């Protein structure tokens, strides 16, 4: 899973390095570029960040053709040999790839048998060798043959020594193309490409694209031309640089973004669902991965209260291959900050293919997920750069809560007054979050104790459990401390065995109906030696309290996650972790 870029035009190498910086959210294990000078291909690549690549790039004045890559390792460890681009065996082709070539073992076996030696452990290298093996007198024919030999998900950009065109092959992995006076560009996402070109198109699956300096042509894998629609994309904003960590900046933005999410929802027309779909609705899925899944889990608890029909949160990668029923009475909300997560896009495709209605809830208009869904609702969190998602989670919850309030009203399960009360209650949240942020010194102090924990368990009941799940995910991904979330009532069925001195338990206890039961759970873990921190409007014996203000009971998830985001941040900071780019992760996971 990676970011790829390719261009023909002015200052190709400099622009490729610039683009890789925008694409780094897709992976930051290694970075590299290939470019053509005096008819030969050159590759420069390195383990580490794009910044390091830029430092070692030689002068390439006048070069007008270049490809580039940022890697998140799937096949093969993180090392120089496994970094992209790859040469073909005779250095006639160089390629970058995003995706997974599922038949790479067979391809490698065949190529080995004709004497081709592989220099990396990757699945991608086979593509470069195949291009050279398949070449007789036309690069296009070689690309066509190669495209038909590949199985799996791939977006590949290839350059060669025979002609001055740039070739791209695409199936299932995202690829966009842009045209401007300055050149023609291929890229993994629209946000990056719109720094270079406004006339853009999404390359369809099973398509080959051939770019020259001023134009691009598209062909199917049968070799016949296909037409692809271009549209005008907004020019991307430059990445805002900050002193310190993006994650903290993004947490501090939450009060503003909550306001923005509500205003954006109303301005963009609210629910925007055809009334036919609303009235025949029998089943709703909330589908996402990681933090986006947790927001579905949280809002499902709210939605069940409001709607009285099945509202089922599902992890996208499970939804794709399991037999969750879908028919024309099904509505699926696909939740994704980036809109580029492969599992979520595949899940949307499954819903579409079975006749269900797909509704994207995303922070990225014009993302691959939007193009796969019937309706897209923006969450208006603005760009999120830290790998650990924070403000997007809060905005997903605001948007989904409003969507469900509207849906329940239209379906007749709540009256207008109840719907309006939910809308109005959102307005209290920014100041409630501000209060939590004002207490961040206290959370920072608690972090000092938590940082040495042997494990941290997050517990909660009903709508507090999804908050626990999100708090746990946040802590483990940036601090690397072992952490798990449990519905508090489930502890006694096994996990209680792990409670001992050195363990921390964070108890989220905002549901007033569950306070007595939560007191009991807290007493049980404290009795076994665990340190307990309660996140709640109420006091508990045996627990340090991180107090959250009282708000509408349907909205606690949006508020009580904030101290947990801060806790994860301060613990990771005290442990000296790379907060914005934690190990082994990427901001957007574009492979299944």
Measured from the CB atom, the residue of 291 and 504 that comes closer to ligand F6R is: 291
Go through the chain and tell me how many residues it has: 592
- Run of H or E residues at 124: none
| Neighbouring-strand partners of residue 247 | none
List the end-to-end C-alpha distance of the chain, in Å, as a whole number.
Answer: 9
Q: How far apart are CA 35 and CA 17, in angstroms?
A: 12
Closest to ligand F6R by CB, 63 vs 73, is: 73
SS3 287: strand
Choice between 92 and 391, CB closer to ligand F6R: 391
Cα distances from 103 to residues 69, 124, 128, 297, in angstroms, run: 22, 11, 14, 36
Q: How far is the CB of 316 from ligand F6R (least distance, A)?
A: 8
Torsion of CA 100, 105, 107, 113, to 10 degrees: 160
In the numeric block, which tokens belong to residue 567?
């806790």
Q: Output the smallest distance, CB 334 to ligand F6R, in A.
A: 9
Residue with smaller CB distance to ligand F6R, 47 or 345: 345
The vertex-68 CA angle with 389 and 234, nearest 5°, equals 55
- As measured in angstroms, the least distance from the Cβ of 45 to ligand F6R is 26
Q: Which is nearer to ligand F6R, 367 or 440 (CB)?
A: 367
Please state the closest distance from residue 401 (CB atom) to ligand F6R, in A. 17
CB of 477 to ligand F6R, least distance (A): 6
- C-alpha to C-alpha distance for 308 and 313, rounded to whole angstroms: 15
CB of 387 to ligand F6R, least distance (A): 6
Q: CA torsion sign, 440 to 442 to 443 to 444?
A: positive
Q: Which of 45, 474, 581, 587 is catalytic?
A: 587
Residues near ligand F6R (CB under 6 A) are 289-292, 336-338, 341, 344, 388-389, 473, 477, 588-589
- What residues does 335 pair with on adjacent strands? 361
Shortest distance (Å) from residue 143 CB to ligand F6R: 31
Please confirm, yes or no, whether 282 is among the known catalytic residues: no
Residue nearest to ligand F6R (CB): 290
Q: Which is nearer to ligand F6R, 16 or 338 (CB)?
A: 338
Between CA 246 and CA 389 the distance in angstroms is 10
Q: How far is the CB of 317 from ligand F6R (least distance, A)?
A: 11
Determine which helix (DSSP H) or strand (DSSP E) holds 127, and give its type and residue range.
helix 125-133
Residue position matching structure tokens 């492969």: 342
* CB closer to ligand F6R, 560 vs 588: 588
DSSP 42: E
- Return the H-helix or E-strand segment holding 7: strand 2-9
Q: How far is the CB of 290 from ligand F6R (least distance, A)?
A: 2
Would you call the peptide bond into 85 cis, given omega within 30 degrees of 0 as the criterion? yes
Instruction: Name, in order, each residue with C-beta under 8 angstroms of 339's C-beta and a sequence gap of 6 or more.
Output: 360, 362, 363, 364, 367, 368, 369, 370
Q: Which is nearer to ligand F6R, 338 or 366 (CB)?
A: 338
In the set 2, 17, 192, 510, the catalytic residue is 2
587 catalytic per annotation? yes
Instruction: Report the alpha-carbon distance of residue 589 to residue 340 in Å, rounded.
Output: 7
| Location of structure tokens 């799940």 | 469
CA distance 296 to 312: 8
Tell me whether residue 284 or residue 292 sits nearer to ligand F6R (CB atom): 292
State both tokens at 572: 């990771």
Residue 581, classed as helix, strand or coil, is coil
CA distances from 66 to 8, 47, 84, 334, 557 (A): 7, 19, 13, 35, 47
Residues belonging to the active site: 2, 587
């Amino acid at each position: 899973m990676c970011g790829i870029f390719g261009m023909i035009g002015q200052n190709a190498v400099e622009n490729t390095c610039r683009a890789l910086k925008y694409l780094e959210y897709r992976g930051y294990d290694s970075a590299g570029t290939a470019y053509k000078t005096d008819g030969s291909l050159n590759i420069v690549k390195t383990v580490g960040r794009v910044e390091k690549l830029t430092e070692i790039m030689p002068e390439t004045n006048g070069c007008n053709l270049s490809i580039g890559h940022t890697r998140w390792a799937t096949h093969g460890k993180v090392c120089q040999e496994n970094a992209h681009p790859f040469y073909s065996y005779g250095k006639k082709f160089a390629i970058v790839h995003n995706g997974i070539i599922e038949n790479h073992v067979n391809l490698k076996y065949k190529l080995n048998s004709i004497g081709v030696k592989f220099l990396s452990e990757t699945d991608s290298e086979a593509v470069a060798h195949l291009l050279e093996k398949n070449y007789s007198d036309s690069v296009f024919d070689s690309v066509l043959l190669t495209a038909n030999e590949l199985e799996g998900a791939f977006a590949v950009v290839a350059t060669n020594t025979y002609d001055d065109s740039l070739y791209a092959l695409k199936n299932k992995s995202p690829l966009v193309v842009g045209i401007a006076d300055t050149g023609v560009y291929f890229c993994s996402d629209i946000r990056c490409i719109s720094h270079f070109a406004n006339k853009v198109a999404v390359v369809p699956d099973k398509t080959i694209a051939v770019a020259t300096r001023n134009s691009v042509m598209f062909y199917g894998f049968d070799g016949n031309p296909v037409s692809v629609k271009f549209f005008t994309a907004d020019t991307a904003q430059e990445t805002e640089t900050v002193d310190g960590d993006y994650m903290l900046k993004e947490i501090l933005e939450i009060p503003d973004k909550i306001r923005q999410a509500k205003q954006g929802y109303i301005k963009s027309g609210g629910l925007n669902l055809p009334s036919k779909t609303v009235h025949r609705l029998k089943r709703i899925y909330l589908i996402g991965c990681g933090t986006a899944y947790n927001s579905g889990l949280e809002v499902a608890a709210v939605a069940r209260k409001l709607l009285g029909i099945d509202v089922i949160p599902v992890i996208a990668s499970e939804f794709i291959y399991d037999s969750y029923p879908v028919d024309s009475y099904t509505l699926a909300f696909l939740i994704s900050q980036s809109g580029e997560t492969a599992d979520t896009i595949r899940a949307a495709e499954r819903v579409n293919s079975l006749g269900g209605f797909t509704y994207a809830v995303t922070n990225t208009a014009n993302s691959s997920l939007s193009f796969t869904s019937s309706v897209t609702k923006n969450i208006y969190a603005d760009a999120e750069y830290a790998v650990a998602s924070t403000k997007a989670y809060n905005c997903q919850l605001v948007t989904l809560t409003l969507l469900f309030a509207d849906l329940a009203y239209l379906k007749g399960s709540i009256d207008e007054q109840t719907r309006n009360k939910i809308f109005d209650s959102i307005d209290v949240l920014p100041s409630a979050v501000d209060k939590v942020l004002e207490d961040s010194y206290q959370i920072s102090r608690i972090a000092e104790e938590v940082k040495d924990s042997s494990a941290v368990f997050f517990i909660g009941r009903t709508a507090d459990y999804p908050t626990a799940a999100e708090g746990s995910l946040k802590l483990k991904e940036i601090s690397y401390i072992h952490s798990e979330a449990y519905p508090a009532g489930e502890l006694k069925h096994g996990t209680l065995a792990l409670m001992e001195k050195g363990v921390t338990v964070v108890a989220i206890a905002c549901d007033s109906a569950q306070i007595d039961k939560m007191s009991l759970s807290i007493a049980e873990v404290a009795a076994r030696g665990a340190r307990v921190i309660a996140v709640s409007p109420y006091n508990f014996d045996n627990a340090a309290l991180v107090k959250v203000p009282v708000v509408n009971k349907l909205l606690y998830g949006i508020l009580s996650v904030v101290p947990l985001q801060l806790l994860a941040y301060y613990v990771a900071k005290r442990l000296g972790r790379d907060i914005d780019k934690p190990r082994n992760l990427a901001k957007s996971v574009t492979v299944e």
